[in-house]
Amino acid sequence: MAERIIFFSEDIRFQCTQKGLIRKWIKETIESRGLLAGDLNIVFCSDNYLLDLNKRFLKRNTLTDVIAFQGDESDLRIGGDIFISIERVQENSEKLRTGFMHELARVMIHGTLHLAGMEDNTYAGKREMRTTEDYYLEKIEESLRERQHFT
């Protein structure tokens, strides 16, 4: 079964750029963790849309930037839905003084790592998640630099 990584927008007008590069990066990230990519939906949405999901499914009444829901895949093949609030990404990129695309890539890989089994509900887990995110962010930024160099 071939993997499909599909991008959607719900409740906002947002188009992701560099889709081919992002698909390749996510697939390589999953494979580097000893897993296979299954069907993965990345859904860009508003704060209100994600807040509603957070309340309904996780019983949390807080804004968040990303929520990942595991799909019905095998033990080695991961898939599911990653919901990303574009408003949170924008605000976080301003607050952290990072570029919007850097922060967007961070939450995409954060959701992917959750689907791959990483947890961040402890201090040690959060530290490991951030270190792992940084490692994979460097991979896509390297690919982007190479692409710009050759265009």
Positions in the chain short of pLDDT 50 = 149-151
pLDDT tens digits along 73-101 = 677 889 999 999 999 999 999 999 999 99
We report the CATH number of the domain holding residue 143 as: 3.40.390.30
Q: What's the number of domains the chain is made of?
A: 1
pLDDT of 145 reads: 77
d(CA 103, CA 57): 25
For residue 53, what are its two tokens? 């999901």
- Confidence at residue 150, expressed as pLDDT on a 0 to 100 scale: 46
pTM for this model (two decimals)? 0.92
Q: At what angle do helices 47-58 and 86-96 cross, to 10 degrees?
A: 110
The 3-state secondary structure of 131-149, one letter per residue: HHHHHHHHHHHHHHHHHHH
**pLDDT of 2:** 59
Q: Which residue has the tokens 């990942």?
A: 68
Structural domain of residue 50, as residue ranges? 4-150
pLDDT of residue 93: 97
pLDDT at res. 151:
40
Place of tokens 């791959």: 116
Rounded to whole angstroms, the Cα distance separating 89 from 107 reads: 8
User: What is the pLDDT at residue 31?
Assistant: 95
Which three-class secondary structure state does DSSP give residue 17? coil
End-to-end CA separation in angstroms for the chain: 33
Token pair for 66: 């990303």
Q: What is the pLDDT of residue 144?
A: 77
